[in-house]
Amino acid sequence: MTFSQDLAGSWRLRGTGVDIAATVPGCVHTDLLADGRIPDPFLDDNEHAVAWVGRQDWTYERDVSWDGPSQERVDLVFEGLDTAARISLGDTVIGETRNMHRTHRFDVTSILAGRSGPPAPTGGRALKVHFTSAYTEAERVRDIVGPRPNAYPEPFPFIRKMACGFGWDWGPTLVTAGIWRPVRLEGWSTARIATVRPLCTYDGDAGTLDLTAGVERTRDSALRAQVLLDGRELAVLDLPASETSVRGEIKVPGVTPWNPIGHGEPALYMLTVMLTAVDGTVLDRWQQLTGFRTVHIDRSADDAGTRFVFHVNGEPVLVKGVNWIPDDIFPSRMTRERYELRLRQAAGAGVNLIRVWGGGIYEDRAFYEVCDELGLMVWQDFLFACACYPEEEPLRSEVLAEARDNVTRLSPHPSLVTWNGNNENLWLRGAHGWAGDPGGDLSWGAGYYLEDLPAIVAELDPTRPYQAGSPWSGSWEHEPNDPAHQTFHSWEVWNRQDYRHYRDSAPRFVAEFGWQAPPAWRTLRDAVSDEPMLPDSPGVLHHQKAEDGNGKLARGLAPHFPAPATTEAWHYLTQLNQVRAVRTGIEHWRSYWPHTGGTIVWQLNDLWPVTSWAAIDGAGRFKPLYFALREMYADRALTIAPRDGGLVVAVLNDHPSAWTGELRLEHRDINGAVLSSTTSPVIAEARSVALVQASATCPVAAGTQPAAPVRAANRDAALVVATLGEARAIWFAEDSGYADAGLTVTAESVPGGLDVRLHAAGPARDVLLQADRIHPDAVVDRGFLTLLPGESTVLHVRAPIELDPGSIKDPWVLTDLSTVLNP
């Protein structure tokens, strides 16, 4: 039986002038931080003060010996080396690596058996992993293959490493090195299981398991692979002597299919593969949860262009997605508990799909296991983003091996529903004119995305659809980011246009769009020591990585609000604008389902404290956008929006049963008094949208004149209210002119925090309670909310310590739009 010996824990880290204790898995930055050798790179502009770390070479070292039973073979296995590494054991160099995204295995049997060089004083052998600076390696490769254009002035396309570690428009430049995933010795005899690739599909009444197992041998002898599902034997597959792989296609009746959130149970089964000798001796075991489902993307042509609609188990699925970046700039710090927390938060916001973006990493097994358990679909990018990538050696073979490794590794996970060739590379080459830049006439990655990667997926994972890129219109017949064809990235809005321009079109699938806002107040305050802290003070600007990011924030506010008078007002209004922008996009595009197959918001999370598009900031605090997503992505929701010259109520029903009831429409004046009220029966069939006219005329088409208000047919109406059951939507004609809402606020101490009761005498628009202003660890259960005259609600604030009810009266803890605009 295979025996594993963990080599995690205490190592030594050595570099120029450095010899300190280190922890594996980990990275140079986290070890230097733990030893007090570098300041916190998240604070102020310390990112610059630690830039030298990424320019140095580093060596990790410890003594190892084989402490397990006698075996014919002992391997040294690294699940992740970051990145350009030379590994030596004793006096022998056993290998070199050039890829952060692969597992590496080395036969060290003879060395550990004492047949190669003298032992270390401990009786083992000195294991050294020497890391060449990623800059040095990338620049070496660039000199071989020639320069290539990219979106950032860093050499990330020339090394197979997490691209965003070189800096992005939301991330710092912190170029890591280290043993970032587990390392172990593994002993075995006769044979071991090298790979298991289970492709599980469902055809409506039974599952099919197409299983391929690869083995590595020390001797030629007949073997068997016993396949079990939840302990029940499905098949025994024979491996004749000298064969190194076996495949079986097995029908599995009676299984429950895996379904995404909102479409049924995400059923999982424990799949076990036992490798045995003919006499029944168990040589190795592989075990993992998996599930049965069938995935298809409808990319057929119609009168409007080309569809892009996900189907799981034959049923169309409205995608309510978020883009995922690495949750920490130092991914070795990620734990299963942190993955589970963040992914449960995503599911709690109504999300049903996570897109793992191509400038990050293939995430840890724990990430995909939690998605499997929750019913979260995963869209997995291959790791190429915003650049031209060389297709020559020494990179080509690494790219292909990396793809094969990870397609195989992730194949058991039913949550993984599509492979995507790259992020924006097919689009940006033309959009940014890269073909005319230095190196633009050289290979740039098209061969990977259009030939190599689809061939690998077709060979190793034909059960999942592949797409060449995001955005991608399906062929060169159309511009890659054509909204009429397949996937679309909406970045003219935010970069150059007001968010009301989201309503100008109905793309077939919106795979990226978003709007910036600063992080939670406490997160920003903890990261920036500026006094006073201003929107344009040095520390705040350092934690704004987007090109002209603060300028875009200001231009985004201008059509809607006066210039903020204080930093606190700027913080509140930019958070509000982020919510309004994303809400405008999602609700508009949802109203076009299934013409528009879904949305994937940029982005769920951050990897450090920064002003960004995220819903959850770099300290793990919810921005108001998080709570708004919960409303926008609810199975049943209402929205009021301009369409065809009037106001329309869209009844959004992503539920397996019809939504019926009496839709109540009210036109109210600026004080909230009802001017007119009507009710009418409405029915939105299962998984559909129903449209109801809210007013016959709408004098200004939103989006064409962004600064102008939009009024209902009743010229005295300042707001329109639509109610259906528990769901409500409100359309405001203007942001200003509302009097003091007459909010009554009382706070009561309860176990674990405060219950805050609100009552409004007049319209209380966009009330926000910022719990982190009371205590750094305090949380609240709502974001922006609006109360109409006479309405009340309770906000629940929770914290690890007892809170003073009077703190609710502290400045900016609780405020509303009228108070901010009329201080």
Q: What is the pLDDT of residue 704?
A: 28
CATH superfamily assigned to domain 744-821? Immunoglobulins (2.60.40.10)
Mean pLDDT, to the nearest integer, of 459-478?
97
Fold match between 3-185 and 190-290?
no
Choose which CATH entry (3.40.50.2300, 3.20.20.80, 3.30.930.10, 3.30.390.50) describes domain 318-517+582-634: 3.20.20.80
Q: What is the pLDDT of residue 700?
A: 32
**Amino acid (one-letter) located at 751:** P
Is 424 catalytic? The answer is yes
Count of C-beta atoms within a 10 Å radius of residue 160: 26
Q: What is the pLDDT of residue 734?
A: 83
Q: How confident is the model at residue 118 (pLDDT cuts 50, 70, 90)?
A: low
Return the structure tokens found at 92: 């022998």
Return the structure tokens found at 320: 């309510």
Least-confidence region, from 107-121, 475-489, 589-603: 107-121
Q: What is the pLDDT of residue 823?
A: 82
Query: Considering 154, 186, 424, 587, which one is annotated as catalytic?
Result: 424
Q: What is the pLDDT of residue 583?
A: 98
The burial class, CB within 10 Å (0-12 / 13-18 / 19+), for 31 is buried
Mean pLDDT, to the nearest integer, of 347-375?
98
Closest Cα partner for 357 from 602, 534, 173?
A: 602
Q: What is the pLDDT of residue 694?
A: 83
Q: What tens digit of pLDDT does each residue of 778-791 get?
A: 999 999 999 999 99
Mean pLDDT, to the nearest integer, of 578-607?
98
Least-confidence region, from 115-124, 219-228, 275-284: 115-124
Instruction: Please name the CATH architecture into which domain 3-185 falls.
Output: Sandwich (2.60)
Do residues 257 and 295 make contact, with C-beta atoms less than 8 angstroms apart? no
The bridge status of strand 719-724 relative to strand 301-302 is: unpaired
Peptide bond into 153 cis (omega under 30): no
pLDDT at 707 over 60: no
pLDDT at 115 over 60: no
What percentage of residues in the chain have a pLDDT greater than 70?
A: 96
Q: What is the pLDDT of residue 242?
A: 86
Least-confidence region, from 109-113, 193-197, 292-296, 473-477: 109-113
Please, how many CA atoms are within 13 Å of residue 802, restricted to the half-sphere of its CB? 4
Q: What is the pLDDT of residue 714?
A: 60
What is the average pLDDT value for the chain, to the nearest integer?
A: 95
The whole-angstrom separation of Cα 503 and Cα 6 is 55
Measured CA to CA in angstroms, residue 438 lies from 148, 168, 234, 431 at distances of: 7, 22, 57, 16
Closest Cα partner for 286 from 216, 202, 355, 208?
A: 216
pLDDT at 701 over 70: no
Q: What is the pLDDT of residue 123?
A: 60
Q: What CATH code would you report for 190-290?
A: 2.60.40.10
Q: Domain map of the chain by residue range?
A: 3-185, 190-290, 318-517+582-634, 637-732, 744-821
- Non-local (6+) Cβ contacts of 803 within 8 A are 749, 753, 754, 774, 775, 778, 797
**Amino acid (one-letter) located at 85:** A
Question: Domain 637-732 belongs to what topology?
Answer: Immunoglobulin-like (2.60.40)
Q: What is the pLDDT of residue 709?
A: 38
Q: What is the pLDDT of residue 821?
A: 92
Q: How confident is the model at residue 697 (pLDDT cuts 50, 70, 90)?
A: very low
The whole-angstrom separation of Cα 801 and Cα 751 is 10
Helix axes 624-632, 567-590, angle to 10 degrees: 20
Q: What is the pLDDT of residue 343?
A: 98
Lay out the sheet containing 688-695: strands in order across.
636-643, 646-653, 688-695
Mean pLDDT, to the nearest integer, of 16-20?
97
